[in-house]
Structures are given as structure tokens and as C-alpha cells.
Structure 1
Amino acid sequence: MAEASFVRRTRSPGLALRLGRISGVMVAHAVIFAPGIVGGLLRRKAPARTGERLAALLTALGPSYIKIGQLMSTRRDLLPDRICDALGKLTDSNPAPRRSRIQAAVRDAYRGREWPFTEFDWTPVASGSIATVHRAVTTDGRTVAVKVRRPGIETVMRQDFQLMSMAVRMLSRLPRLREMPLGLMLDQVGGAVLHQVDLGAEHDSLVALRTNLASLTWARIPEPVTELCRDDILVMEFVEDLIRFSPDELQPEARGTAARRALAAIYEMLFVDGMVHCDLHPGNMYVDRDGSLVILDAGFVIKLPEAVRVSFADFFIYMTMGNGPVAAQIVIDSAASMSENCDLEGFRKELSDLVIASAGQRSGEFSLAVFAGKLFDMQRRFGLYPAPEFAFPLLSMLVMEGMVQGFDPELDFQKEAVPVLMRRNEPREPVA
């Protein structure tokens, strides 16, 4: 199997050191925490601090693993609340680099030109896995948020995905996985995750999202200050008085509205524009004092191929309508590959039954994670493999489902999508 294209083929000493560090962290955490975990299992009770220990492990492993923890934190339907609460702290409270390193990075970015700030708070207002965010005031009096890429982050993340690529190549030798396009899938997803370190690309995504969601008067995306942006520095307007996107932070009457607006925004991006935000965790999405939805980050935004956008939207609307046979045929027609002994009729019947059974279920009954798990299992059993790009809209919706599950148990994910899906064949030309 070919190695993922975003991974360099050289086996540098740095890669060996990174592998050694990962192994050392894993062993150290196993030695420290294994007795408590084993004791809890013997008592048939999960240790009380499992979430904190898992968050500490992911933080020690580095940004690629922190990103995994951030996504896991949104799945309260699959993980205990105490674990999600602990992992949720990874969204914007990661340890910041030393102040001297942040200062050096910012001053290097503006070297050779006039210093553009009259005030700069070197203590981050948020500290994510990829970058820190600082409040500053420009020389023309604008209050801005300055996003500073962590020094050395690209090298570390590239090494992590190179190690993952090596693991994928070994897994692909197993008989049951030999025909699955694992390398291609890692190429697509890994390349997209690494794309987050390019703050110049995030600037372009912010501009595109502001254009594409302009008709949603209750959606706010910060405006970038283009003339001050660099490849490793993103400057945008500072949005004040934000409320965390959490049912615990909002009044009961505001929860349903917030959840429906979040779904409407993600459906607009996904089904109409084909620009998918895969990272809408609570550290990136807020509500302002007027009730508007505020999206602060656009690092993990993917432009879908048009064929994938259309196929995914068509599948979703026929799933919503409970039309199993047509939904199954869409999956078959859009498949990237099929095994030699692919059983199309068996797949068509089983997926059709699943779609019919799932139609009309509300958020308290329907789980996209369970549905997706069954769909992937069917594809594996019947020898039908989807295009790797389908991972992005599914990831986006899984994260969003995990976020809004606790807002309104009567929320109908499928019904909320229908008004947007009716416009699915009339995409706007996004700015990208």
C-alpha cells in the first residue's frame, strides 16, 4: 500500500525521538495509573478520575492526540459525563508555550515593518492544541484577537501522522482489512488535520464562511484583519461577552434556539456550500448576549468535491424520508471501490431496513454514531468501501450531534435538515 502522500518518506532521527517520547509517555502513565484502573475494574466501577487521567495522557502526548480528545468530549451519548467534562477542558485550556517563545514568534512575523499594536496581552485568553489566542489593540484603535501558531507544532504533528501511516501499513496486511482503502483515508483525514497549522488558509476559510453564511442573520464569524495576517499569525476582530455553547450556560428557553441554529449553520455549510467545519466543539462555538451563534475558529474547514457534496446531501434527504432503497443505491453509486465478492443485494436490503427503521426518530432516540457504526459495519461485511472524503461530513455531523444532544431531547435532527436539503442542488459559489 502506498504511504499517505502528506507524509515525508524520510526516517529522520526526529521521528525516532518522537516515537520514543510517545512510548515513554504511555509507559509512564501506565505505571502511574494502572493500579487504580485495575482496582476499579475489579470492583466493576470506573475510577473517579478516569477522565482527568485520560486528558493528562492526551495532553502529554501532544497536539494530534489533544485533537482526538476534543472530538471525544462532544460524545456524551457514548461516554460518561465525567469523562466528557474532563476532555472538554482540552478545547481551550491546554498549557501555553513559554511567554518568550510566543513573543519571539510574533515579533519574527512582523520583523522588518512597523510594530502594528499599541497593546498586546502575552497571557493567552485561550490556549488550544494548535495555537494560542491573545487580545491586542492595533495602532488604529481596533481591539483584535491574535492567533499565534505554536512554535514547532507542524513538525510534531507531521511526525505523529507519519507514525500513524506506518501503523496503517501494518494493519492493511491483515486479511479482513486488506481491501479497505486505509492509506487513502489517512491521506485525506491526516492531510486535513495538518492543514490546521496553516493560519493563512484559515484566513481564507473565515472569509468564505462569512460570505456563505451571510444570509443567516443570527450567525457571527469574526472578520479577519487581512493586512496584519501572516502564515503563522491570524488577526481578527475580538468578539466580546461570549457565552459558552453549553446547556448549563444557557437559560432553558434559549437552549432549543441555540441547538436549532447550530444545526442550521452546519447543514447550510454541508449541504449547500460544500464547506464542512469538522471542529465545532465548545471551544470554537459560542453564543453572544443577543443570542447569535458565534463561530470563532475555521482551522478545520474542508471544501468537499462537488460529487461528494451532492451524494451526501441526497443520501441524507432520502434517509430523512425513510426511502431506504434509494438511499442504499446512492451509497452504492458513490462507492470508491468494491471487493471481488461484493454482495450488493445483501447490502441494499440491510441498509434499506436500517434507513426505514431510523426515519423520524428524535434526538433522544436517534444516534448518528450508532447509525454510522452500523453503516460502516455493513460496508465492511458486504465489501463496499466509501470515498474517503465522506469522512469529513460525517465527522462534522458526529461532533455536532454530540454537542446538541443535551440541549433538547425532542429535537429532530432529520426534520431540521429538510429546509436546507430542499436547496441542496442549488449550491452557491463559495469564496475559497
Structure 2
Amino acid sequence: MDDARIRTPRLAGRAAVTAGALAALGARAVARKLAHRSASAEGTAADLHRLGPAYVKVAQLLATRRDQLPESWCERLAVLEDRVPAPSAASIAEVLRRSYGARTPFARLDLEPLAAGSIATVHRATLPDGRAVAVKVRRDDVRRTLALDLALLGALARTAQRVPGLRRIPVSEMVGQVGAVVGRQADFAAERANLAKLRQNFAPDNGVRVPATLDALCTPDVIVMDLMTGLRPLRRADIPDGDRRDLVRQVLTATYQMLFLDGFVHCDLHHGNIYAGPDGTLVILDGGFMIELPDQVRRLFADFFVNLALGRGERCAEIVLASARRTDGCDRDGFTRRLAELVRETSGARAAQFSLVAFAGRLFDLQRRHHVFAAPEFVFPLLALLVIEGMVRDLDPDVDFQALAMPILDRAATGRLHARG
């Protein structure tokens, strides 16, 4: 559903519902404060779920940042990665009935979800031949709700664009681009294509597994895929000390392959979407939030990353300036000098000493102060790294993720040389 089809009364109604949910959330927080009680994880998840799927996605990102938020809040928000309050069994059954009619293809399907996300629930089922499968059922009316929420955020961004201090920043364009990708998470045909492409990209690598979909059984509201069993969450409490180091390197290597080689990037690898398999592999279960990077963006991001790792701050500044949407009024010399200082401070730092959030914040502040406005497309590779950084820091704070990127970056550079030849 695009903005042109969203009628003003619907948008106003959704805004009223959102405002009511925010007011109720605030009232409950005040009541708990007066009663000297804290919110439970399930209570926090329920409050955010009432706001809608777009807000849940933001909370899922925040849940990975144990270095930035209190542990108690991360635990509460982490519930939203795979334990969002599920719809009723009747609602799930109705979606299945609309998809298959009276002739269900399953010999048995458990309406109690294995996992519940903001877009869909996942269920264990058995086919008539005895094969166990996972069945992903889209929440009823989630596409409409998500479209309305994104339209509201777009309207807020356009309003913010009129604020004098924000007029030079493409806030509306950035929200629009991110919103388009978030909105596609409710498009199951697109997700099936994403999973197939992801399987193809990782096919030569036995270290990453992606479930195959059973396309003959899929519908616009349902995805049927391989059931992956024996999975362990990539959390410190669930992974033995001896396995953490290798698994972190596998996560980083897979992410770098997507960023620097394939240009097909999963931007949502939180704990609910990526697991350790029983055979030591990584298992990626979801293909909703993926982006195809333009070749120029992929190349420039790779060049920035390699020069960051090598401490070449002046070259990093050249790349940022070359990729910027606007540089009118820019103090190029001042920006280059300050960014070079920042790169020298962070080059070669291990995860325990390096925070991507802090680095990105300082980089954006330099851009703002020196009138360098980055292209919105660069938010996606940054988002992919932001999501996994919290996981990396939790499992192995000493990993040198800049050094681990170098072999992938070398392959990317070699590929470009071969292409030119």
C-alpha cells in the first residue's frame, strides 16, 4: 500500500491509535513508578507491540546495544526479537483458511507459535509424507498497519524538514528509503526471493545455512520452508566459551561477504534471525529486511572500511566527500583534518575499545558541523553493522573486526581489478 492509496481519515485514525498507545504506555510507566515497580519484559513488549510493527523494528535494533543501554532494558527489548505477543489462534487459523481453503496441505500444524515477530508468527507443521516444516504466517492486516505507520513517520519527517536547523539534511528522503525497505518485510513474495538469493550467495560456504522454501505450498500470506532444528541463540548464556570466538568470526565473515562482495545485505541479523546450528554452522532464518546496494555504494563503503582499518584518515575523508549528497558551504580542509584525527584514534582498535555507535555519532557530527550531507543509501550498510555489533561485543569483546574484514576486502578489490581487465 503506497501513500497515494492511504486516505487522510485512515491516517488520522492510525495517528489517534498511536497517540492513545503512547499515552497509555506513559500512564503505565507513571503508575509503576508510583508503586515502586519496574515493567516486566513481557509488559514492555506488549506496550511496544501496541504501537505497531514499525516501532517494534526500532526496539529490536536497540535490544542489540548492550554497550549503550542498561542490561535490564536490553533484556526487555530482546523479547521483541522472537517473542512479540502472538495473535489469537483464531486469527492465525483464519489467515490459513484464506490461504488454502478447506484443503490444507498439512497433516498437522501447531497453532502455538515457535516464534512470534512483528510481521508474522512461525509454526511447526508436518506434511502428509511426514516431513517437518516451518510455516510462517503473516499477521492479519499487518501490511495496512505498517503502511499507515510508515506514512505517519514520513509526514513527521516532512514536517521536520521545515525546521530551520534540518532544512539542509535530507530527513524526508532518508525516512522514505528506510521505510520502503521496512515495508517490504510484509511482502512474502519478496521474502521468498530474498531467501533464494541468500541461499545462492552462501551456497559455496558450508558455514552458513539458509532454509529452502517449498514454493508450491507458499501463498501471499504464508511461507513454508525447511524446519531448522537444534538451534542455539547467539547469546553469551547459550554459547559455551570455546565456541564463541569461532561463531563471532563466522558472523563477521558472513556480514562482510554481504557488504563487500555480494552487495545483497541482511540489515536485521538480531538474535531472532540468526542462530548457531548443531553442526557449528550459522543459520539465517529470515529474509525480510534485505537491501541490494548499488555497486557504487558497495565499492565506496568497502574503500572507506579498508582505509579506516589502515588508519588512512585523509583517504576516508576523500571517500565521504565523494559520496556526499551535498557539500555546498563545506569546509573541506577542516573536515579532512578532523576526520583524519578520528580515524587515527580508532584504527586497529578491538571491539572492547571501539564502538560503531560512538564512531558513527562523531562522524555524523563532523559532517553536520562541516556541512557534508551523506547520501541516504549509506544508512543500510551502517545499519547492518550496528545490529551485529552488539552481538559481537557481547560474545567476544576482543575480536579485531577491522582485521577480519581485510581478506574479504582483498577479494572485493581483486574482483574489481579482474572486471576492469
TM-score > 0.5 by shorter chain: yes
The alpha carbon displacement at 1:84 in A equals 0.3
Q: Partner of 2:185 in structure 1?
A: 196
The answer as to whether partners of 1:50 and 1:83 remain within 8 angstroms in 2 is no
Q: Deviations over 1:1-33 (max 9, x none)?
A: xxxx95337543222121111111111222232
| Alignment map for 1:394-405 (pairs within 5 Å) | 394-405=382-393
Query: CA offset at residue 216 of structure 1?
Result: 2.1
Moved more, 207-216 or 54-63: 54-63
Shift in Å at residue 393 of structure 1?
Answer: 0.5
User: Paired residue for 2:17, among 21, 31, 36?
Assistant: 21
Q: For 2:117 and 2:155, locate their aligned partners in 1 and report how far apart those are by CA, in whole Å.
A: 27
Matched with 1:230 is: 219
Task: Give the Cα–Cα distance (whole angstroms) in 2 for the partners of residues 38 and 216 of structure 1.
Answer: 55
Cα RMSD, aligned residues only: 1.9
Q: Deviations over 1:377-406 (max 9, x none)?
A: 111111111111111100000000011111
1:287 corresponds to: 276
Question: CA 1:54 to 1:351, structure 2 compared with 1: closer, same or farther past 3 Å?
Answer: farther
Deviation at 1:244, TM superposition (A): 1.1
Kindly provide the amino acid, as one letter, of the partner of residue 65 in structure 1: Y
Q: Which is helix-richer, 1 or 2?
A: 2
* Contact 1:270 1:393 survives alignment (8 Å): yes
Q: Distance in 2 between matches of 1:274 and 1:347?
A: 28
| Bigger mean CA deviation after superposition, 135-144 or 153-162 | 135-144
Aligned partner of 2:60 among 55, 59, 70: 70
Among candidates 130, 133, 149, match of residue 119 of structure 2: 130
Q: Deviations over 1:247-272 (max 9, x none)?
A: 11011000111111111111111110
Structure 1 position 98 matched with structure 2 position 88:
yes
Matches of 1:253 and 1:229, distance apart in 2: 39
How far apart in 1 are the matches of 2:352 and 2:17?
A: 42
Is the contact made by 2:313 and 2:342 (CA closer than 8 Å) also made in structure 1?
Answer: yes
Supply the distance in 1 between the matched residues of 2:135 and 2:176 (Cα, whole angstroms).
30
Is the contact made by 2:213 and 2:226 (CA closer than 8 Å) also made in structure 1?
A: yes
Q: What one-letter code is carried by the residue in structure 1 that aligns with 2:104? A: W
Taking the aligned partners of 1:8 and 1:300, their CA distance within structure 2 comes to: 23
Q: Which residue of 2 aligns with 1:409?
A: 397
> Are residue 55 (structure 1) and residue 45 (structure 2) matched?
yes
CA contact (8 A) 1:358 1:366 kept: yes
Aligned 8 A contact 2:42 2:79 in 1? no
Change (3 A) 1:335 1:62: same
Query: Quick one: distance in 2 between partners of 1:19 and 1:356?
Result: 46
Separation in structure 2 between the aligned mates of residue 307 and residue 128 of structure 1, nearest angstrom: 33
1:356 aligns with 2:344: yes
Q: 2:136 is matched by which residue type in structure 1?
A: K
Instruction: Show the 5 A alignment for 1:291-306.
Output: 291-306=280-295
Taking the aligned partners of 1:131 and 1:324, their CA distance within structure 2 comes to 44
Alignment TM-score, normalising by the size of structure 2: 0.94
Q: Deviations over 1:27-72 (max 9, x none)?
A: 12222322555898xxxxxx75486664343122121111111111
Q: TM-score under structure 1 normalisation?
A: 0.92
**2:144 maps to which of 151, 155, 160:** 155
Equivalent-residue separation in structure 2 for 1:161 and 1:151 (angstroms): 17
Q: Do the aligned residues in 2 keep the contact of 1:368 with 1:398 (CA within 8 Å)?
A: yes
**1:315 maps onto 2:329 in alignment:** no
Q: Is the 8 A contact 2:304 2:316 kept in 1?
A: yes
- The one-letter code sitting in structure 2 at the alignment partner of 1:218 is G
CA separation in 2, counterparts of 1:39 and 1:199? 44
Letter in structure 2 aligned against 1:172: Q
Counterpart in the other structure of 1:34: 30
Structure 1 residue 262 and structure 2 residue 251: aligned? yes
Match of 1:379 among 367, 389, 392: 367
Secondary structure of 2:384's partner?
helix
Q: Is the 8 A contact 1:209 1:221 kept in 2?
A: yes
User: Cα–Cα, structure 1 residues 16 and 408, in superposed 2: closer, same or farther, change >3 Å?
Assistant: same
In structure 2, the residue matched to 1:81 is: 71
Amino acid paired to 2:22: M
Q: How many pairs does the alignment contain?
A: 415
Listed one character per residue, the Cα deviations across residues 88-133 of structure 1 (whole Å, up to 9, x for unaligned) are 0111111111212211211222248x53211111111111100011
Q: Secondary structure at the match of 1:78?
A: coil
Residues of 2 paired with 1:38 and 1:330: CA distance? Answer: 52
**CA pair 51-271 structure 1, distance change in 2 beyond 3 A:** same
C-alpha separation between the residues in 2 aligned to 1:108 and 1:36?
42
Question: Measured at CA, do residues 243 and 51 of structure 1 come closer, stay the same or move farther in structure 2, by a change above 3 Å?
Answer: closer
Partner SS, residue 302 of structure 1: strand
Counterpart CA distance in 1 for 2:364 and 2:324 is 12
Contact 1:195 1:299 in 2 (8 A): yes
Give distance in 1, aligned partners of 2:34 and 2:282. Answer: 43
